[in-house]
């Protein structure tokens, strides 16, 4: 959600549409770079599928930090967290990811990569 919110596009008027657009951007990004991408979205799940390069997950619960907690758990459970980069602008999540051995990329920086 940090990536979606990194630009004032009016995304808040159509959150599902903004999520679909992000997943489409991530698919193109994964195809260009050849690296798999997992996105964890906040909110009520709806039909939104990835493909071979993109895995779409919804937070396992609702409420504050729901997606952040799931992301941190994914990094902590990974056999090689040093190979993971998490995109976030949230300082607490960034700290948790780094403590678990993962890398952090800011949402604005990643948005520029998606657009490039």
Its pTM stands at 0.90
Q: Please compute, for residue 68, the number of CA atoms within 13 A of its CA located in the half-sphere on the CB side.
A: 15
Number of folded domains that form the chain: 1
- Please name every residue paired with 38 in a beta bridge, in sequence order, or none if there are none: 55
pLDDT of 116 strictly over 90: no
Whose CA is closest to 88, among 77, 75, 80, 79? Answer: 75
- Domain residues for the domain of 37 are 4-115
Q: What is the mean pLDDT of residues 83-95?
A: 97
Q: How far apart, in whole angstroms, are the C-alpha atoms of residue 116 and residue 23? A: 16
Q: Residue 20 sits in a domain of what CATH number?
A: 3.40.50
Note the pLDDT tens digit of each residue in 7-63. 888 888 999 999 999 999 999 999 998 889 999 999 999 999 899 899 999 999 999
pLDDT of 104 strictly over 90: yes
With H, G, I as helix, E, B as strand and everything else as coil, classify residue 41: strand
Q: Under a CB-based contact definition with an 8 Å cutoff, are residues 22 and 15 in contact?
A: no
């Amino acid at each position: 959600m940090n990536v979606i919110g990194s630009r004032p596009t009016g995304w808040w008027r159509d959150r599902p549409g903004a999520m679909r657009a992000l997943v489409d951007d991530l698919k193109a990004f994964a195809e260009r770079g050849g690296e798999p991408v997992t996105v964890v979205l906040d909110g009520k799940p709806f039909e939104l599928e990835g493909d071979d390069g993109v895995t779409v997950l919804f937070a396992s619960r609702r409420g504050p930090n729901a997606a952040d907690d799931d992301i941190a758990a994914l990094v902590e459970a990974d056999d090689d967290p040093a190979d993971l980069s998490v995109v976030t602008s949230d300082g607490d999540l960034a700290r948790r990811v780094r403590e678990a051995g993962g890398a952090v990329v800011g949402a604005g920086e990643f948005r520029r990569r998606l657009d490039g």
